[in-house]
Amino acid sequence: MAWGISMFSGEEIVEIALQIEKSGKEFYEKALDYAESDKVKEALVYLAKEEEEHTKTFSEIGKELKGNFKPNEQYVGEYGDYVKSLVNSHIFNVSKVEDLVKEIKNDKDILRFALSFEKDSIVIFQEFKNAANKQGAELLEKLINEEKGHIKKINELFG
């Protein structure tokens, strides 16, 4: 399933975010079969659980954004076009998870994909934060900080 956005609403923001997190969880779970070290396996289990928790948070944000999303755009559809391009280039676009798993040769590949996922997610979540109301923005800021923590954890494993 590939993402497509013709018009952008708060509900669509949440759906995209949920799909990103579900894709991340799916990748982390499938990558477990390819992980070589116990440290990487532990990190994958942790990251999969974190992504599952994030889906709950995005459900909360969805309640806040419902009917309250008003993007700042120069022309109608500008914001949707921009976010669509971000999502379509996200490493864990739903249609890409299976292909990425097939590319895993070692722990470094797993960590490289995980790092890209977390970085891409921060970029997209930052854009969502810019469009959210105050409460939604606060929740997104919390998620962004958690994703930054994931990057730190992944980088430590690269060492």
- Which CATH number do you get for residue 144? 1.20.1260.10
Amino acid, res. 156:
E
CB 42 within 8 A of CB 83: no
Structure tokens at 130: 């810019």
Q: In which residue are the tokens 């079969």 written?
A: 33
pTM, to two decimals: 0.78
Residue 133 lies in a domain: yes
Residue 3 lies in a domain: no
Domain that holds residue 132: 10-158
Instruction: Give tens-digit pLDDT for 81-137.
Output: 766 676 666 655 656 788 889 999 999 999 999 999 899 889 888 877 877 767 777
Residue 63 lies in a domain: yes
Residue 4 lies in a domain: no
CB 57 within 8 A of CB 143: yes
Residue 1 lies in a domain: no
CB 63 within 8 A of CB 138: no
Q: How many domains does the chain have?
A: 1
* Strand residue runs (E) in 75-126: none
Residue 5 lies in a domain: no
